[in-house]
Amino acid sequence: MAGRKGGFRIEHDSMGELEVPADALWGAQTQRAVQNFPVSGRPMPRGFIRALGLVKAAAAEVNGNLGLLPATRAAAIRKAALEVAAGDHDAHFPIDIYQTGSGTSSNMNANEVIASLASRSGRVRVHPNDDVNLGQSSNDVIPTAIRVSAQLAVVEDLLPALKHLRSTINRRGRTFSRLAKTGRTHLMDAMPLTFGQEFGAWAAQLVSAQERLEDCLKRLRRLPIGGTAIGTGINADPRFGKAMARALGASTKTRFESAIDKFEGLASQDDAVELSGQLNALAVALMKIANDLRWMNSGPLAGLGEIELPALQPGSSIMPGKVNPVIPEATCMVCAQVMGHHAAITVAGASGNFQLNVMLPLIASNLLDSIGMLSNVMRLLADTTIAGLKVRADHVAVALGRNPILVTALNPIIGYEKAAAIAKRAYKEGRPVFDVALEDSGLGAAELRRLLDPAALTRGGIQG
């Protein structure tokens, strides 16, 4: 620091002097980035700043243990970094998402803020590069922070929300496990199934999504820290990478590993793209579930009207009494945005040039945004929609009784063509298929009741 000037102080870096707000914890390199990237007005997300703080705290601990930093200085850096991780200084991380592709600006932002805090609290002069960034490069810190932040967001937020939604669906499915309804293929009437079977298919989609997510975490936990500039580990102690993985695992109670090939971890972000792909697949499943709920709730008079979702707010500024399926609609919008994020992450993941990917901040932001939105909307869908939905059993029973497709159960006995004729007549005359079949099939009432029993047909039917 060279001095103060009004509401600013003068800082310098290798490119010269510039003004920095007097009360800012950051220094010259952060200020240059603030001036260079007035793009979106959106800073890096909280989860990423948390991960940066955790990485810097672990680095101070490891460098202290290795005898590379004096104990007092290492402790001061670690304390300041943990404050950053806790969110105590988020206002001092102003750099836009759309910055240098390596994320160097965000790494230096963390280095400068932590150095400033550590110098004040530890009564020692801490240098952002020589001390806070010791044994590190932006090129291994940022890819590591991406993996740490995404792993923690999935483990702490996404998977618990997914399990909660699945549990809620299963619980409500058991409530309606014996209630039969008309199935639909091509949006047209098909053979019956129970609400429990329909809900069970949703829950099964979420089981598969959970398994895919958990599997990709095995690759996401491999941290490239220790590779420094290009993967060779220049200026880092050979023990640094493995010690960092252990320290981060201990502080987060989450398993991390030191990547065997640090070059891969810097140049490619395939594991982040894989995670994004699984988030995309989860979004596909959630959109299917949300749209099924919207269709089943449609009406109440001119639609399917099978279920009634909880009324959460007025649905129209002009039509009194209208209530809309707002949470399923919000879910679909989240899913659409996650799909868009995945497209952007795919392009970003393909933007590794030789030894470094150069769209790291975009990958970090989109991953965490997708995880956060999916986590939040799954809990909303569970608690405000599925937990309180009601089945309109009488309406469902009427529609099921008039479903001409029930005649499919008679195929093995009277043949496809005769069954088709009965179905067409029942539909044309608006009569239950049982009544028409009693007249045209040659079968008795008792046998028809047995063959056309919707509950039996949900179990595969009864062979004649």
Active site residue 89: no
Residues 6+ apart with CB under 8 A from 244: 55, 58, 59, 62, 144, 223, 225, 226, 258
Catalytic residue, from 40, 177, 208, 316: name it. 316
Alpha-carbon span 363 to 107, nearest angstrom:
15
Strand partners, 357: 352
Total length of the chain = 464
Catalytic residue, from 89, 102, 186, 276: name it. 186
Residue (of 218, 245, 232, 216) closest to 54 by Cα position: 245
Residue type, 58: A
Residues 6+ apart with CB under 8 A from 113: 25, 26, 30, 80, 84, 89, 92, 93
Active site residue 441: no
List the catalytic residues.
Answer: 186, 316
